[in-house]
Amino acid sequence: MPSQRQSAIVTGAASGMGHAMALGLSQAGFDVLAVDVNQTGLDTLPATIRPLRADLARPDSFAQVVDAALAAFGRIDVLVNNAGIGQASLKPDQRRSPIRFWEATPEQWWRFITINAAGPILLANAVVPHMLKAGRGRVITVTTSLGTMVREGYLLYGSSKAAAESAMAVLAADLKGTGVTSNVLVPGGVTDTPLVGEAGDRSKMLRPEIMVPPLLYLVSNAAAAVNGRRFIAADWKTTLPPVQAAKEAGAPIAWLDIARMPIEPT
């Protein structure tokens, strides 16, 4: 028999925001499967969180994650698509010395698309059928600020994240009325994690833990009907009741609020 506790998969949970969100969900009473390619980072999580070493760049990893979650918990209520790579992995000082569009190699492009776009899309693709069967579920995807998607030197990171954002908007549209939802959550600025490399004074950056209050709202009963939205953690006022904070920190997913014809008639 499946337990009455809800379960969550958090990718990229060995470090940074994924680590903070896995802890936050666990402390809120969720059974958490922490997925990452980095075993050393997974080893720093408390024993209450179940670790799974998986490389989400591999096509066989999605079934591996779903099977592990179902075997451990018997259900999947939440998917937090958070794993990602940044351009500092190619060039630590890339903020000062941008990687120009024409300098990016095809191999780099495929790697960013594979991990930052295909990863969250294909994992959602593998998880959502189980949520549809249960008639409930939350897919929460960490993309990036809309400005980062188009900024100078950001071909690899920006356009791979834009692909993930647009895919999650399509998922939200397809999920309407099913009880399963798709929303985006971003920190809203440079956040103090290894991903950003040499990005200046770390004491001025956002803390990874700012993701936790909006995440806990998104997995709560109060957010059961919240679908197709994007939330900025830096705008989340913890002093307000969560529903009010969500109003202030939320907007339509992707670029729907500036689209002239968001939904074409069929």
Binding site for ligand NAD (CB under 6 A): 12, 14-18, 36-38, 41, 55-57, 82-86, 115, 142, 144, 186-187, 190-191, 193-196, 208
């400005």: which residue's tokens? 147
Strand order in the sheet with 180-186: 50-53, 31-36, 7-11, 78-81, 137-141, 180-186, 229-232, 250-252
Contact in structure between 192 and 112 (CB atoms under 8 Å): no
- Closest residue to ligand NAD, judged by C-beta, is 16
What tokens appear for 4 in the block?
Answer: 């009455």
Give the amino acid at 81. N
Do 11 and 35 form a contact (C-beta atoms < 8 A)? yes
State which residue, 194 or 241, has the beta carbon closest to ligand NAD. 194
Q: In whole angstroms, what is the distance from residue 38 CA to residue 90 CA?
A: 18
- CA-to-CA dists, residue 81 to 2, 17, 94, 123, 153, angstroms: 23, 11, 25, 8, 24
| Distance in Å, CB of 265 to ligand NAD, minimum | 34
Cβ 15 to ligand NAD shortest distance, Å: 3
CB of 44 to ligand NAD, least distance (A): 11
Nearest CB to ligand NAD, comparing residues 179 and 197: 197
Which residue, 4 or 154, is less far from ligand NAD as judged by CB? 154
CA distance linking residue 32 with residue 178, whole number of Å:
24
Nearer Cβ to ligand NAD (9/190): 190
Which CB sits closer to ligand NAD, 85 or 215?
85
Nearest approach, Cβ of 117 to ligand NAD (angstroms)?
Answer: 11
Between 16 and 228, name the residue whose CB sits nearer to ligand NAD: 16
| Nearest distance, CB of residue 56 and ligand NAD, angstroms | 4
H helices of 6-60, in order, are 16-27, 39-42
How far apart are alpha carbons 214 and 223 in whole angstroms?
A: 10
- Whole-number Å distance between alpha carbons of 180 and 240: 26
Query: Shortest gap between Cβ of 248 and ligand NAD (angstroms)?
Result: 19
Give me the least distance between CB of 103 and ligand NAD, in Å please: 21
Q: Report the residue number, 114 or 178, with the smaller CB distance to ligand NAD.
A: 114
